[in-house]
Amino acid sequence: MTKQKVYDIAVIPGDGIGVEITDVALEVMNKVAAKYKMQLNFTKVLAGGCAFDKYGEPLPAETVVQCKKSAAVLLGAVGGPKWDTLPGDKRPEKALLGIRAALGLYANLRPAKIYDVLKGASPLKDAIIESGVDVLIVRELTGGIYFGERGRRAENGVVTAFDSEAYSEKEIARITHTAFAAAMKRRKKVTLVDKANVLESSRLWREVVAKIAPEYPEVALNYMYVDNASMQLVRNPAQFDVILTSNLFGDILSDEASMITGSIGMLASASMREDSFGMYEPIHGSAPDIAGKDLANPLAQILSAAMLFEYSLGMSEPARNIENAVEKVLEKGYRTGDIWTEGFTKVGTKKMGELVLAEL
**Residues acting as catalytic residues:** 146, 195, 227, 251, 255
| 339 phi/psi in degrees, rounded to 5 | -120, 10
Amino acid in the structure at residue 48: G
Distance of CA 187 to the CA centre of its chain: 20
Q: 246 burial class (0-12, 13-18, 19+ CB within 10 angstroms)? A: buried
Contact 329, 117 (CB under 8 A): no
Q: Tell me 3's DSSP state.
A: P
3-state SS assignment for residue 157: coil
Closest to 242 in 3D by CA, of 108, 111, 107, 140: 111
Contact 75, 281 (CB under 8 A): yes
Rg (CA), the chain: 21
- ∠ CA 237-239-244, rounded to 5°: 90
Cα dist from 244 to 42, 61, 228, 251, 254, whole Å: 32, 32, 14, 12, 11
Distance of CA 3 to the CA centre of its chain: 32
